[in-house]
Each structure stands twice: as structure tokens, then as C-alpha cells.
Amino acid sequence: MALIRIPETSRVITGTAPINDFLSEFGIQYENWPVAGRVNADAGAEEILTAYAEEIDQLKERGGYITADVVNVTPDTPNLQAMLDRFNQEHTHAEDEVRFILKGRGIFYIHVNEQPVFAIEIEEGDLINVPAGTKHWFDLCADKTIRAIRLFREQAGWTPLYTGDSIAAGHQPLCLGPNYLRGGVAEVANVAISA
């Protein structure tokens, strides 16, 4: 399940309802879907899209998306750092960025107007929809692995439109992960989170 960190205030938000309450202020949609026993995360793309066809169809109807695919990133992905460098600087998109995580973890950093930057750490089972025009950037966690279903209105709308702001350079990816969630907030309350 996702968690949200606001480095400037050292605040951490966990749990589906509190996360949705927080994200709704920014128009960001979040859901957590059950994945256990559904389909192997390493299955072929068509098998995955078939297994989640009902949810994908609902998302298409709800958001006007016309296509879905499966992206797979591992440490062995050719030119991985060059690919990550396209998305780890602040940018927007002309359409929503919709991702359902099948495997691995990553972090969306969101920068809305004069609000403090916040990070949404996502993992297996998390669905996130970052609305078109939202300033953000994305990075992978240390294992450099993520597999996700992506939905698009049109492929060209997903091109990053860079803001030119260097704010992302001041935020190094810090993934707290499932051990953090199992241990509870109190166990890591003294962890220094630098902005």
C-alpha cells in the first residue's frame, strides 16, 4: 500500500482513507486493488491485460482512456539511467498519468503551486492517476524495478513537458517500503528526511 511523505514537515500519511483525503485536494486519484492470486506479475502483457480487463474497462470509461499497455523496468533494462533521467526532473503531461503497479516500487513527487513538495511511494496493488498539467517527477526505488499497467487517451499526450525548475535535484529518492508499513510510524519517527 502507498504512503505519502511531506519532507518539509516530516509528515507521513498511511492508510487508504487518509491517503485519499490528502490526495483529493490535488485532484489525484488513488486506489489499492487486491492482487493476490490474480495473475503472476511476470506473466506476459496480454495475460496481465486480460486478467485486469474489467478494471481497465472501468478506468477507460471513467477517464476517456483508449489504450492500455504493460511497462516493465528492471536493472537490466537497456539505457535505464537515460530513461529515468527523462522523468526524474519536474515536468507535466498533456494527459493524465495513470499507473497500476504490478511489481516493484517507485516514487511520484508532486509540486502543486506554493504547497510543499510531497512524495507518493507506490508499490504492488497501487493505482494512481496524476491529472494532466500537475507538476511532478518520478523515480524508482533502490531495486530499480517496476512493472505497471499504463492507460492513455493518446500516446503523444504522455510526452514530458519540462518546467525548467531544478526543484527535483533537492529531493533524493527515499523509499521506506513495506518494512516501514509493518513496523509502524513510531519506529521510524526519528529518521531524518532531507528536502
Per-residue 3-state assignment (H helix, E strand, C coil) for 45-102: HHHHHHHCHHHHHHHHHHHCCCEEEEEEECCCCCCHHHHHHHHCCCEECCCCEEEEEE
- CA 41, distance to chain mean position in Å, is 17
Look up the CATH number of domain 3-188: 2.60.120.10
- What pTM did the predictor assign? 0.87
Mean pLDDT of 171-177: 75
pLDDT at 155: 67
Are the C-beta atoms of 171 and 109 separated by less than 8 Å?
yes
In the numeric block, which cell numbers belong to residue 15? 492508510
- Band the pLDDT of 177: cuts 50, 70, 90: low
Contacts of 185 (CB under 8 A, 6+ apart): 12, 14
Check residue 90 and report its DSSP letter.
Answer: -
What cell does 46 get?
Answer: 496480454
β-bridge mates for residue 149, sequence order: 70, 100
Q: What is the pLDDT of residue 22?
A: 97
What gap in Å lies between CA 181 and CA 188, rounded to an integer? 10
Predicted confidence (pLDDT) per residue in 95-128, tens digit: 999 999 999 999 999 999 889 999 999 999 999 9
Who wins on pLDDT, 193 or 50?
A: 50
